[in-house]
Amino acid sequence: MIELPQPTGAELWPRAEAAPAARLNKPWRAVVALVEVLLAALAVWGAFACWDAGVMTVSTTAGDGAVLVSQRYFGGPLAGAIGLGTLAALLLVDAVRQLLLAVRARHREKTD
């Protein structure tokens, strides 16, 4: 049987550091939210531009005079459009979070 040293009560847990509590309510978060909304709008505009570049209409006239119309899809621009749409959604979610933290989060007063 191996005898290992046993920790005392003071060594069981590390001491809590006396760091000041971080404030969540910072007014500049509203500016960050506004910038994120503008970037999301730009990403949506880019997504529509990529989608239009990824779809092409092809018209062909058959030998009997019938006009055949079809769509051709290009994966690269369509993937870019989906990526930009996802980026816009993430930016909007974070903008809402930043705005709520700018307006609502208040530091709690300690009552002893």
pLDDT (0 to 100) of residue 102: 86
Please name the residues in contact with 67: beta carbons below 8 A apart, sequence gap of 6 or more. Answer: 59, 60, 61
What is the pLDDT, as a whole number, of residue 96?
95
CA–CA distance from 54 to each of 21, 49, 71 (Å)?
Answer: 50, 9, 10
Quick check: 32 and 99 in contact, CB under 8 A? no
pLDDT at 28: 85
pLDDT digits (tens, 9 = 90+) for 16-25: 666 666 666 6
pLDDT in tens, the chain (112 residues): 788 877 666 656 666 666 666 666 677 889 999 999 999 999 999 999 999 999 999 999 998 989 999 999 999 999 999 999 999 999 999 999 999 888 876 655 565 5
Residue 94's nearest CA partner among 34, 4, 54 is 34
pLDDT at residue 14, rounded to an integer: 63
pLDDT at residue 58, rounded to an integer? 94
